Amino acid sequence: MTRVRIDGIVKRFGEAVALNDVSLELPPGELFTLLGPSGCGKTTLLRIVAGLLPQDVGSVAFDGEPVDDVPPYRRNIGVVFQSYAIFPHLTVRRNIAYGLRARRMAPERVRAKVVEAARMVQMEPLLDRMPAALSGGQQQRVVLARALVIEPRLLLMDEPLSNLDARLRVEIRTVIRRLQQALGITTLYVTHDQEEALAISDTIAVMDHGRVLQTGPPYELYRAPRNRFVAEFLGGMNVLAGRLSRLPTSGDVVLVETDFGATWSVSVNGQATGAGPVWLGIRPESLRAEPPPPGAAAGWNQVAGTVTDVGYLGAVARYQVEVAAGVSLTAEVHDPDFAALRRVGDAVRLWCDPVKVRILAPHP
Amino acid sequence: MKVPGLRSVARRRRHRDAWWVVSGVGFAIVLAFLVWPLCRVLAGSVLGEGGWLAFGETYGRVAAHRYYWSSVLNSLGLSAAATLGAVLLGTPLALALARYPIPGAVLVRTAANLALLSPPFIGAYSWVVLLGRNGLVTRWLEPLGWGVPTIYGYRGILLAFVVQYFPLVFLLVSGALAAVDQSMEDAALSLGSRPRQAFFGVILPVILPSLTAGALLVFMATMADFGTPMVLGEGLRTLPTLMYGEFINELGGNPTMASTLGSLLILINTAALMGQRYFAFRKAYHVVCLRPLQPRRPSRLRLALTSAAVYGVIALALVPAATILVSSFMPTRGPVMYLGLSLQSYATVLHLVPRAVANTFMLTGLAVALDVGLGVLLAYCLARRPSRTHAALDALIMLAYAIPGTVVGVGLILVYNHPPIVLTGTWVILLVSYFIRHLPYPVRACAAMLQQIDVRVEEASISLGVPPFRTFWRVTAPLMFPAIVSGATLAWITTIGELSSSILLYSGPWATTSVEIFTQVFSNHFGTASALASILIVAAAAPLFLMYRLLGQQAAMAP
């Protein structure tokens, strides 16, 4: 199990700054995800860790040892690429054996290890196929086995699922997570898919414009985003502009006057609370439509509005509710009863627990 | 405390690899064997004997004497007419095959590919065999009192050019049509266009870049063609033949005038190239083709008439090669051929000029091997290490496409006929010319292939512990194999019948088959010429068949 330290990495491509002073620490045995929109620098960072791209400034260390001067072929890493990068001229068996043969391992040991690795990804029956005769999901399993069989210190995965269809994506994702945990390999995982990141990661680092905005376990990023970008990138988020007006009234509750008139109570809960303009963030699933949900207390925020759109998605129904001219909130109803759904034009009152409202610092 | 400057210097050294050696060698070779000779020719066209600027002795002389300027007009007129003819014959053929379900379409395409195999001057010679003064057709028609219009001169050259080059236009336009999606035409028709309007408004603009590219290739090839006007010209001078004549003149060659005419040739071809590039750049559209144009269902009569026309045109393209092959087995006396079967011509070849055939195979094989060996490595540099330096190298290598063989030949002689390096009179100078002129084929083929190969595949290999250079041999080179084979095949086909520089560069025992054919034609030994030409055609076709067997249909034959 390898501990990876990324220290002050800067990378420019001409004038463009791809990475702007990024520092991270990957705990041993963890699956660490870089999450961000395309162009945020996440793949660049992965390639620097792999040694496939030289950084301009900064250092990468495996277990405290700097690897900046170690070429990629001596770093002992396994890389899985978005485009699979399977060797199309070699059989599945020789694809998996490639790294072992490069290490001049005895042929009979290679054979045994290849079979073992193929079994891990359920590809043993197809060992003698050529890649052209494999589906995308099968190719991805082969390159996963190829990367794991060399027992790398570190596994790097660059959007490994983005070329697969939705069903396969979940299936392979499960395979990756199971193997990663069983083998205890420190893994750096790059994706732009927030659901994938939440499902698979021990720790997520959200990136934008070459910077890391927030690092933490999935639930923390989802429940306590520190700024508007993180909040909106991970799941849906209603964002309201407002003004933090008064100090705590009772216990840790503060009042925020929103720009459209209503006053919201927010449970501070250790959040930063300098008086002044703030953004409020409310997840759609935290906004409840009438009738008031069981357990709603007197202290809950309420706001009246008009339904402008109803989206029925099976497990969830989603309302767009206009609460003031130009201000619209999204609210979700889980396990909706279709007959009881509201129509466009209906008046509706939304309820929200002050504990579920976040105060978001403006985007840096 | 970080010291960014120091760190990045250290890192740059670590990541520098050995590929710069390859591009350095590439630069050295191209500069020594292409750029320098070319500069000598260009310099010769502006500097007089004294080494001073003397336009009066060069371009002034061309403008002043009808003897010179008429050759410029002849060349321009012939090439323009030949280009027009090839386009007017090749384009409808491609359209007919794309739009009508013509039986045997695959065979027609194969025939077009085959027609491109035989060297141009052999095509010209075949028309002499058929329609010349002692031609087969001429003599058959003579007793009937029918005269055949003369094959010599302007019209004969034009006929030989059009027949030689229209398959090229056909193949390029066919390729472009294959990339037009049926939905484009459907959309035009659904919006109220008539079929004719849909063709001129939607389909023609999309295929136009390929059409003009084909036209350009025909124009440049006919401008540079030395053998055809030499065989059929009979006093009609074109730029390459006059240039050759000036250089080789028995009364003492005139390198200055040869250089001037060569420079004019380069100027005209470069202007054509620039014009086409400018046009194609502005008018190139990116089309995504999911479903190619579907053949229409014409009436039976219409289909029959169209098919007959298609077969007729494609048969015309095969006439030269067929004539050569058949005539090589006929008994001959001098330029006269008789009906019958005889191996007499081949016996003469074996007896008199076996050396020429051996020379051709040896020199072609060696040149192609060098082209492929260096071409693969250079292509990797150009495709995988893009930089301004490499873009310049790419442009220099491609220069060989645009420069006529006669100019390369004259340039090489001007540079390498005096110390410190003397190559004239040896076989090496032939090898150099073959090598440098056909280097673009493997480079282009391999570079195009590399664009298709995911860089990540190489990175995967490196990450698995195989250093970059070994990765190249273990992963990249095997994946490039189809391109290597097709690049080698193209280089082989175009090298084996090379005449325009060979005729200047050969000496004594190093005459090649093409030179020998030329000599035999001019000394009226048509049987020997036919036999030698047949050997060339078969030798050119053999690797193509081998390639199809080796690679199957994936080997798309690029012109």
Helix/strand/coil (H/E/C) assignment for every residue in A114-156: HHHHHHHCCCHHHCCCCHHHCCHHHHHHHHHHHHHCCCCCEEE
CA nearest to A72 within chain B: B463
Distance from the B467 Cα atom to the nearest Cα atom in chain A, whole angstroms: 6
A362: preceding bond cis by omega (within 30 degrees): no
- Spatial CB neighbours of A315, under 8 Å, sequence gap ≥ 6: A334, A335
- Judge: B475–A87 Cβ closer than 8 Å, yes or no: yes
- Judge: B464–A98 Cβ closer than 8 Å, yes or no: yes
Instruction: Among A83, A146, A150, select the one facing B454 at the smallest CB separation.
Output: A83
Q: What is the pLDDT of residue B85?
A: 95
Query: How does pLDDT run across B344-367, given as a tens digit for each residue?
Result: 888 888 888 888 899 999 999 999
pLDDT at B16 over 60: no
pTM here?
0.81
Q: Of A45-54, A232-241, A298-307, B2-11, where does mean pLDDT reach its minimum?
A: B2-11
User: pLDDT over 70 for what percent of chain A?
Assistant: 94
Burial pattern B191-223, b for ≥16 Cβ within 10 A else e, equals eebeeeebeeebbeebbbbbbbbbbbbbbbbbb
- Judge: B462–A55 Cβ closer than 8 Å, yes or no: no
Which residues in chain A have their CB less than 8 angstroms from residue B467's CB? 71, 73
- Judge: A79–B10 Cβ closer than 8 Å, yes or no: no
pLDDT at B383 over 50: yes
Cα distances (Å, whole numbers) of residue B95 to B86, B100, B111, B174, B457: 14, 8, 17, 7, 40
pLDDT band of residue B296 (cuts 50, 70, 90) is: confident
- Is A130 in the B-facing interface, judged by CB distances under 8 Å? no
- Judge: A99–B465 Cβ closer than 8 Å, yes or no: yes
Distance from the A21 Cα atom to the nearest Cα atom in chain B, whole angstroms: 12
Picking from B303, B318, B367, B332, the residue whose alpha carbon sits closest to that of residue B497 is: B367
Strand partners, A32: A188, A203
Cα angle vertex B281, ends B277, B284, to 5°?
125
Which residues in chain B have their CB less than 8 angstroms from residue A54's CB? 11-12, 14-15
Distance from C-alpha of B331 to C-alpha of A163, rounded to nearest angstrom: 67
CA nearest to B17 within chain A: A71
The H-assigned helical ranges of B116-226 are: 120-131, 136-141, 154-178, 182-190, 195-198, 204-224
Cα distances (Å, whole numbers) of residue A102 to A105, A153, B477, B485: 8, 17, 17, 28
Picking from B529, B224, B118, B541, the residue whose alpha carbon sits closest to that of residue B356 is: B529
Q: What is the pLDDT of residue B558?
A: 39
- Judge: B459–A81 Cβ closer than 8 Å, yes or no: yes
Distance from C-alpha of A148 to C-alpha of B186, rounded to nearest angstrom: 51
Per the prediction, chain B carries an average pLDDT of 85
- Is A72 in the B-facing interface, judged by CB distances under 8 Å? yes
Element (H, E) at A334: strand A327-334
pLDDT at B74 over 70: yes
Identify the DSSP state of A80: E
> Number of residue pairs across A and B with CB atoms under 8 Å?
85
Picking from A29, A30, A4, A36, the residue whose alpha carbon sits closest to that of residue A210 is: A36
Instruction: Among B456, B466, B479, select the one facing A73 at the smallest CB separation.
Output: B466
Distance from C-alpha of A119 to C-alpha of A124, rounded to nearest angstrom: 5
- Judge: B479–A78 Cβ closer than 8 Å, yes or no: no
Picking from B297, B37, B32, B295, the residue whose alpha carbon sits closest to that of residue B185 is: B295
Distance from C-alpha of B172 to C-alpha of B94, rounded to nearest angstrom: 9
pLDDT band of residue B251 (cuts 50, 70, 90) is: low
Picking from B155, B158, B154, the residue whose alpha carbon sits closest to that of residue B89 is: B158
